[in-house]
Structure 1
Amino acid sequence: MTDSISSILSQIRAYQGQLGQAAARTGDVARGDAIQGLAGMQAPGTAGVSGVPSFTQTLANAMQGVNAAQARAGELQAAFERGEPGADLARVMVASQQSQVAFRATVEVRNRLVQAYQDVMNMPL
């Protein structure tokens, strides 16, 4: 579980680095009141204009990756149950564990997003 969280954190840092590089290429200057690393971000649904993926696209890609891992684990499990020669127990178990870790990481990210939303909504004005 710790490895998956570390992996997600490293991906987030990589995306932040990409955002910083994209802002530097386009000549955007961060405002004084802007959150560092987010100055070059676009409004939701407007990605593709400068090549930087939106949060929605990033989240959708992550969900597709989790879905693909679960589908692959299911296919390997069915192949193992049918007795196909290419599907041994070790591969089935590894694919199953990978999909489980990916799902747990996704649930953890969702929980943190919900908590962050609740914190923002409970802030006094």
Structure 2
Amino acid sequence: MKTSGLGIDSSRIQAMMEQLKAHAARPQATPPAIKTEAPAAKVEFSDALKKSLDAVAESQNQSEALGKRFQMGDDSVSLSDVMISMQKASINFQATVQVRNKLVSAYHDIMNMQV
């Protein structure tokens, strides 16, 4: 086992980097709504927003649970798993805040329009 001066297993870091590169290189699947074979189902904005917010809350809950398992000494949870989970939850939350900011801005623009 190789360790750097900080006591970190460099082979695990290298393996994680390879996993991230492999995941990034994988082609993304097209969402069902974009496929042209079947007509797209009507999606209500409020339903899509609620689903998105639920997904963000779920990612935060999973991240918190993973962190607690790591703190309690669960050997099946590594620090890198916890950190990646926390970063995913953070990115999801930041994206949600940006969408909210755009919605508020659009609302203000519409309310300030002359009719």
User: Shared fold (TM-score greater than 0.5)?
Assistant: yes
**TM-score normalised according to structure 1 size:** 0.61
Alignment of 1:117 onto 2:107:
yes
Select which of 78, 83, 88 maps to 1:93: 83
Structure 2 residues not aligned, in runs of 5+: 1-30
Aligned residue in 2 for 1:57? 47
**TM-score normalised according to structure 2 size:** 0.66
Alignment of 1:83 onto 2:73:
yes
| Percent of matched pairs sharing the same residue | 33
Cα RMSD, aligned residues only:
2.0
Which residue type is aligned with residue 77 of structure 2?
A
Which residue type is aligned with residue 120 of structure 1?
I
The offset of 1:22, in angstroms, is 3.5
Structure 1 residues not aligned, in runs of 5+: 1-13, 24-50
Please list every run of at least 4 consecutive aligned residues from structure 1 whose deviation after the TM superposition is greater than 4 angstroms.
Answer: 14-18
Which residue type is aligned with residue 114 of structure 1?
V
The alignment covers a number of residue pairs equal to 83
Contact 1:22 1:52 in 2 (8 A): no
Q: Which has the larger radius of gyration?
A: 2
Aligned CA distance change for structure 1 residues 104 and 57 (closer, same or farther; 3 Å): same
- Structure with the bigger RCO (C-alpha within 8 Å, sep 6+) is 1
